[in-house]
Structures are given as structure tokens and as C-alpha cells.
Amino acid sequence: MTNRRCALFIAFALLASPALWGQATVSSIGKQLDGLRAVPDPQRPAATTKIANDIRTLPPGLPKLKLADSLTHLATEGDPGQETLQAVANTLAQALKETPQPPLKDGRPAMPYTDLAKLARYEGITTDFKDPMLSKADDILVANDADVAKANFTLKDLNGKKVTLSALRGKIVLVNFWATWCQPCRKEMQDLDLIYTHYQQQGLVVLSITDENPFQVNAYLSPLGYHPPVLTDDGGKVAKQFHVDGLPRTFVFDRDGKLVAEAIDMRTQRQFFAMLAKAGLQPLGSK
């Protein structure tokens, strides 16, 4: 190869390499996703929006769709704001439009359709993306919520005392599914504990449900001084009844036992209060 051809080849390679010019790649976006939980909460919405925008620049294909779907699972942790969630949803909708996915073996929609439907149903985003699989995913969520609305259970707390959901009529009940290994679960527990201790006298009950070994749970909770009742769901039977497919997951029932709010991921104190307000609980000192 002549010197001139060699120089032209190197110049072309430099121009064609996105990484050398700061353009997002599947690998670079993957690293951003891996580090997103380490980003301080105040900066996390901007970091999430940047990742969503970077994903949109990728060429169509399954790697792009997988990144877009992975981002939805991280974006719903806490309170990134509607603008950020909308950007994440728009990115997932674009990726699905470019790379449609076949139904699963049982005919149910592939996970990205369900995740987009969850953003619309539980996080208040909007989308003009139309697809039969997305419609089917939403129909499944509606049916699941109908099951939760009529659900009942009796579980034992860590001291062996039985707690029955239907027996708590007249109280506002927040049911939270969690696990000791779940980082977002652990992060929201301090707020749950604070809300419970301040509003228990107003008839608020917080039930923290886990399918883990009681000894393991006790070992984790003992140093924390966590006050809400912790119930053990042996075999995850109640979690299945509530269609829990990820942790944490929260449901709020009003004093009549009506399901009035639910969250598909970690919530902040402000978000918990917004959920409880739908059941009629008002923060102390409010009119």
C-alpha cells in the first residue's frame, strides 16, 4: 500500500469510527446503563434523558431495542419527572417500531411491549405508537389490576401473628413487595418507615411482603429498626396473586378496600404521599 493510500485508509477509518468522534455506541451506552444507579439522584434525570437520546441515534436492530428496554427498568426507580419518562418511552416506542418483536410461545406480548404499556398505564406517559401487541399488553395489565382489586390473603408476620388483608377494612393499606437483595427496595424502606410511624394513628397500615427466609429477613432488618409489619409469603403465592413481576411493587387500598393506586418500581416520599392521597390520607398539617 502506498503512503498516500495508507493515509487515506487511516483517515477513512477515523471518520467511520463513532467512538473516536464521541458518537454513542452499543458498548458506550451499555456502560452508561451499568453506572446509572451510581449517579446522584439530582443528576439522574439528566443522565437518563441523555442515555435515551443516545439510544435513538443507534441503527435499528435488536441491540438498540434491548438497550431501550433496559433503560425503562432503571428510569422508573424514583422520581425522574415526566419529561424524562416521556423521553424513555419515546425511545422504546421508536425501537419497537423499527424492530417489531414476535409474541412469546404462549401468545403473550414480548417484554418491551409490556414495559411500554406499563409506562403508559402507571407512569402517565403518552405514545402515538400503535401495535396489536401493545394493545394486548395493556389488556393484560387491565385484567391483572382487576385480579388485584379483589385479592385477599392471610400471611404471618415475623413474630408468627396472622394478618388478613380483608380484615383491615376501615384502614388505608399500603402493600409493598420487596426483598433484601433488591437495591431499590432497600432505598425506599426509610421513607416507608417514616410515613408509617407518622401516619399509623390516622389509620395507615403498611404491609411489607417478602418470600425470603424469615431468619434472613430478621438479620437484615434488626439493625434498621424498621417498624411496618413484615409478612412472609412462602413460595411467593401472594406475589403471584398480585401479578408481581419485579421488585419493589406497591399497591394502595382505601378504607373501603378499593385499589386506588399502584407503583411498578421504587417510589420517593413525595410519590408515596401522592399515592396515599388517592386513598384519602393527607400529610400532617395540610388543610
If asked whether residues 104 and 87 sit together in one domain, one would say yes
The residue from 98, 118, 146 where one domain ends is 146
Q: CA–CA separation, 254 vs 280, rounded Å? A: 7
Angstrom distance (rounded) from CA 145 to CA 148: 5
Asked if 7 and 136 sit in the same domain, the reply is yes
Give the predicted TM-score (pTM) of the model.
0.90
Instruction: State the Cα–Cα distance between residues 28 and 55, nearest whole angstrom.
Output: 10
The Cα–Cα gap between 267 and 36 comes to 17
Q: Are residues 272 and 195 in the same domain?
A: yes
Query: If you average pLDDT over residues 258-271, what whole number do you get?
Result: 97
CATH number, domain containing residue 224? 3.40.30.10
Structural domain for 182, as ranges: 154-277
pLDDT tens figures, 108-134: 999 999 999 999 999 999 999 999 999
d(CA 96, CA 64) in angstroms, rounded, equals 9
Same structural domain, 18 and 134: yes
Q: How far apart are CA 236 and CA 155, in angstroms?
A: 11
Taking only the tens place, the pLDDT of each residue in 156-202 is 999 999 999 999 999 999 999 999 999 999 999 999 999 999 999 99
Give the Cα-Cα-Cα angle 91, 101, 242 (nearest 5 degrees): 80
Residue 74: the pLDDT is: 98
Q: What proportion of the chain, given as a percentage, has pLDDT over 70? A: 91
* Co-location of 7 and 142 in the same domain: yes
Report yes or no on 287 lying in a domain: no
Q: Is 11 exposed, middle or buried (0-12, 13-18, 19+ CB in 10 A)?
A: exposed
Examine the domain organization and report whether 158 and 139 are in the same domain. no
| Residue that finishes a domain, picked among 146, 179, 194 | 146
- Using alpha carbons, select from 8, 90, 86, 11 the residue that is nearest to residue 45: 86
Beta carbons of 176 and 192 less than 8 angstroms apart: yes
pLDDT at 70 over 60: yes
Count how many domains the chain has: 2
pLDDT 10s digits, 11-35 = 444 444 444 445 899 999 999 999 9
Domain end residue (candidates: 120, 146, 172): 146
Which residues lie below 8 Å from residue 189, measured CB to CB, with a gap of 6+?
178, 208, 224, 226
Is 282 domain-assigned? no
75 and 7 within one domain: yes
